[in-house]
Structure 1
């Protein structure tokens, strides 16, 4: 299959809800981190009742956001009947349903994600039980591959702007991704 180009890949990822990208600061305040060893175990995050300062809340939001990406890369490699529980540890609707549907579509067409991504968070705004994360992710070491052969079909972009809406799940007190928006343009 010919590669239709990076723009097609970005649009595919945006529509699929499984954009593969991750951590520190697009002109921001930290060094990028890589997510090369995704895990399906429960995310480590202290209950919100133990976090009192704004800095603690910001760090909890960043951790939850950053953990979403390697999980979304790893989950499609596990049995489909485990996907919902694995992703529900880090996402709520509407993003949870969007991500799961994208994984199902990708499975039907015979593709799966590969690689790892780096988040470059440049701002986190926490307001009560809601937060907004602005990220300039590097997905240049990730993309989609043929599910059977592993042959790479696409390669991601090094600079993808993402605005994430996060909510604190009242059931377990954890921060979770509720919606991902891709505004386009530079970051």
Structure 2
């Protein structure tokens, strides 16, 4: 699993005995990202917004999830996230915490961009949505490569996130 719910930064690792905040349902839409000054700023902003949007979608009613996610995600990632959230929720789990991003090697060519992230997800994981008990913790040095595309509406959205097998260094 490599996308927030599923990317949630590879949070399917170790056991924990802590507790997570009580999950809640929300109907509040994602607030618009402030206008970025450059394409690189916009690409980085939407990549960072992907993770909180994934958590909002997890806690939303199933019929509301797509509208939340399509503000920051495009196909094929959008469908992958929706399937991942449904699978996560079917096992009475939600994600907790947020990964620490260390993006590098941002490349933009026209309406397509890629970036690498040496993510530290140790302050996040999965929790039981009924009890709030933290079930897993993520790991550090997770090397992700994200593809971001600009849509017809001139908005950047993340279309793919893949994990590289070899770990990375946050100073990369």
Q: Structure 1 length normalisation: TM-score?
A: 0.75
Uncovered stretches (5+) of structure 2, i.e. residues with no partner: 10-27
Q: Give me the whole-angstrom Cα distance separating, in 2, the residues matched to 1:136 and 1:16.
A: 14
How many residues in Structure 1 have an aligned counterpart in Structure 2?
150
Instruction: Name the residue aligned to 2:32.
Output: 43
**Poorly superposed stretches of 4+, deviation over 6 Å:** none
Query: Which among 20, 23, 37 is matched to residue 8 of structure 2?
Result: 20
Instruction: Name the residue aligned to 2:161.
Output: 180
Q: Give me the whole-angstrom Cα distance separating, in 2, the residues matched to 1:133 and 1:42.
A: 24
Q: Is the 8 A contact 2:102 2:119 kept in 1?
A: yes
Uncovered stretches (5+) of structure 1, i.e. residues with no partner: 1-12, 22-38
- Report which of the two has the higher share of helix: 1
Residue 18 of structure 1: CA displacement? Answer: 2.6
Q: Structure 2 length normalisation: TM-score?
A: 0.81
Q: Secondary structure at the match of 1:103?
A: helix
Q: Is the 8 A contact 2:56 2:68 kept in 1?
A: no
**1:141/1:76 CA distance change after superposition, 3 Å:** same
Residue 20 of structure 1: CA displacement? Answer: 2.2
Residue 43 of structure 1: CA displacement? Answer: 2.9
Q: Is the 8 A contact 2:4 2:54 kept in 1?
A: no
Q: Give me the whole-angstrom Cα distance separating, in 2, the residues matched to 1:68 and 1:178.
A: 11
Query: RMSD between aligned alpha carbons?
Result: 1.8
Q: Is the 8 A contact 1:43 1:67 kept in 2?
A: no
Q: Is the 8 A contact 1:40 1:71 kept in 2?
A: no
Instruction: Name the residue aligned to 2:50.
Output: 68
For 1:78-105, what per-residue CA distance to the aligned partner results, in whole angstroms no more than 9, with x for missing partners? 2111100000000011000000000000
